[in-house]
Homo-oligomer: A and B are copies of this chain.
Amino acid sequence: MDSAVVSNIKKPVGVPEPTVRRMPKYLNLLKSMQKEGDLFVSAPYIARLQGLDNTQVVKDLAYTGITGKPRVGYSIEELILALEDFLGFNRKHEAFLVGAGFLGSALIQYQGFKESGMRIVAAFDIDKQKVGKEIGGVPVFHLEKFRDLASRLHISMGIISTPAGAAQNIADLMAGWGIKAIWNFAPVTIKVPDHVFVQDTHLYANLAVILNKLTHPAK
């Protein structure tokens, strides 16, 4: 026997993340088509609009469990419902945000999240200038209130929009306080226990791609 078989680590083997990332775009498109009265849509049509490969779209949509009909396409209504269910957009997701600076404020006030079911219900900071105020109708509490409120309101999602230096500390606290998923906007890699899921949105990474392209244009 080979001692190298160290772990039968359960490989996630779920839906590919790139697929999940494309789904909101499909959903967006489908909703505007529905608004115009369309009932069916074909994968090639979606592919053309999104600049994707034909079969890519078919495979992505297959993950929702919805099947299309040859020569007709998919039922838009069915697809929308299935995508919303798949993405969890048809449930309520309440989130706490830590770091009520420019970015945090923008996230709180950003209207776009509404359709996803995600709602930031409270913000937290340690700056006394901010604590006690409201941003877009959302109250800003001192960080020390986080734990108590999170457990009482059964909050499972935390958003970190603090400076880089504070992010790991906040993440540790969140993990200890029962947060299941963290959306991290601070430009650092944060470490959390396995049962906590972290999604990074590093604006820097995107900016880097642009500036690199502008600085060293491909011939």
Contacts and interface: CB of A to CB of B under 8 A. Distances in A.
A201 interface: yes
B112 A106 contact: no
Nearest to A11: B218
How many copies, total? Answer: 2
A105 interface: yes
A contacts with B: majority SS: helix
A67 to B, nearest CB: 20
A164 interface: yes
Interface size class of A (residues with CB under 8 A): 35 or more
A96 to B, nearest CB: 14
A183 B212 contact: no
Contacts of A105: 102, 106
Given A106-B102, A189-B50, A21 B214 contact: no
B187 A24 contact: yes
Query: Lowest 7 A-B CB distances belong to which pairs?
Result: A88-B215, A106-B106, A88-B211, A21-B205, A24-B204, A102-B109, A24-B208
